[in-house]
Amino acid sequence: MADRRTISFRTAAIAGAILSAVALVALLGIWRSTSDDASTGRAQQRLLTFSGTGSAQLAPDSASISAGVSATGASADEAQDTASAKMTRLVKHMKRQGLSSKQLQTTDVSVYEDYQRKGRFQASQSLTITLDDPSRAGELLGQATQGGADTVNGPSFGLDDKRAGYDEALRMALADARAKADAAAVQMGAQVHDVYAIGEAGANSGGPEPLFAGGAAMESTDAKAVPVEAGTQTVTLNIEVSFTYRG
C-alpha cells in the first residue's frame, strides 16, 4: 500500500512538472509573438528624417571688462610693489562704483626683467570686472581709467539666460525640419503625418565681436563714459526630427 502511494505522488509530481513546462513554453511563444510583432511594426514604420536649424536674437544680460596696471622698478620686488599699490587703488575705486568682490577677479600677475634695459624690471596685474547689467559697461570703462588703470579692454557681452531664446529657436528649427520633410514627401507622392522622434543635435550661443577694444591707456580726468552698444546675442539650435508619412 505504501508503494502505491509513493508511485502516485511521483506520478503527480511528474505531471505537474510537465504542465509547468507546457505553460512556460506557451508563455514564451506569446512573448516572442508580441516581440516579433513590435519589431515588425518598427521595421515597417515609414519615416522621413531631416535636420532643422533655428536661431533667436536676444539682448545680452551680462558683460565683462578687463583693466590692468603696470609698473617698473630697479628690482622685481620694487616693480611688483608699485603695481600692487596701483591695483589696490583701482580695486577700491571700482568698489566705490557699487561693484562687489564677487564681480572683481584678478586674472593675471607677472613680473620680469626688461632685457632691453638691464637692471630694470616690469610688473603688470590685470583685473576682470563682471557685470550683470551690460548697460554699465561704458560707464565702468571710464571709471577704470579714472581709478588708475593703464590698460582697459572690453567689453565682452554674454548671455547667461538662454531659455527664452531656446524656445524660439526650437520652434524655428522644427518648422525648418518640417518644411524639408514636406518637400521630400511631395516628390514621393506622399504626405507627412506626424512627428515620430526628435533629438537635439547641439546648441550654442554667440554674438558680435566686442564693439570696443582698447589696448592703450586712455587718459581721463572726469571719468566720462565710453560709448558702447551692446548689440544682440544669437542662440542657435540644431535638431534632428523623424516624421511618419503616408502615401
127: in domain: yes
84: in domain: yes
100: in domain: yes
Both 145 and 105 in a single domain?
A: yes
14: in domain: yes
- Residue labelled with grid coordinates 500500500: 1
CA angle 57–58–60, rounded 5-degree value: 135
Sign of the Cα pseudo-torsion (237, 54, 166, 175, in order): negative
pTM for the full predicted model: 0.62
Both 72 and 110 in a single domain?
A: yes
In this predicted structure, what is the pLDDT of residue 225? 79
Helix (H, G, I), strand (E, B) or coil at 216: coil
Calpha distance 59→159 (Å, rounded): 8
Calpha distance 67→93 (Å, rounded): 12
Q: Which CATH number characterizes residue 120's domain?
A: 3.30.70.2970
Helix (H, G, I), strand (E, B) or coil at 70: strand
11: in domain: yes
Q: 246 to each of 8, 150, 198, 205, how far by Cα in Å? A: 63, 69, 19, 37
Q: Note the Cα 147 to chain centre separation in Å.
A: 34
194: in domain: no
Both 70 and 139 in a single domain?
A: yes
186: in domain: no
Domain boundary among 136, 157, 178: 157
Domain span at 13: 1-44
Residues 245 and 191: beta-carbon distance below 8 Å = yes
Classify each residue of 135-162 as buried b or exposed e, where b means 16 or more C-beta atoms within 10 Å of its C-beta: ebbbbbbbbbbbbbbbbbbbbbbbbeeb
In this predicted structure, what is the pLDDT of residue 185? 94
Neighbours of 16 (CB within 10 A): 10
Both 146 and 95 in a single domain?
A: yes
Domain boundary among 104, 124, 157: 157
User: Total structural domains in the chain?
Assistant: 2
Both 39 and 72 in a single domain?
A: no
Q: Which helix (H) or strand (E) covers residue 199, if one does? A: strand 191-206
Both 84 and 133 in a single domain?
A: yes
Q: Where would I find the beta strands (DSSP E) of 74-179?
A: 104-113, 121-131, 151-158
CA atoms within 13 A on the CB side of 48: 24
Domain boundary among 126, 142, 157: 157
In this predicted structure, what is the pLDDT of residue 222? 54
Q: Which helix (H) or strand (E) covers residue 99, if one does? A: none
C-alpha cell read off for 87: 591695483
pLDDT tens per residue, the chain (247 residues)?
Answer: 445 444 444 444 444 444 444 343 343 343 344 444 444 444 467 899 999 999 999 999 999 999 999 999 999 999 999 999 999 999 999 999 999 999 999 999 999 998 888 889 999 999 999 999 999 999 999 999 999 999 999 999 999 888 889 999 999 999 999 999 999 999 999 999 999 999 987 544 443 333 223 333 333 345 677 788 888 989 999 999 999 999 8
Both 98 and 141 in a single domain?
A: yes
In this predicted structure, what is the pLDDT of residue 37? 46
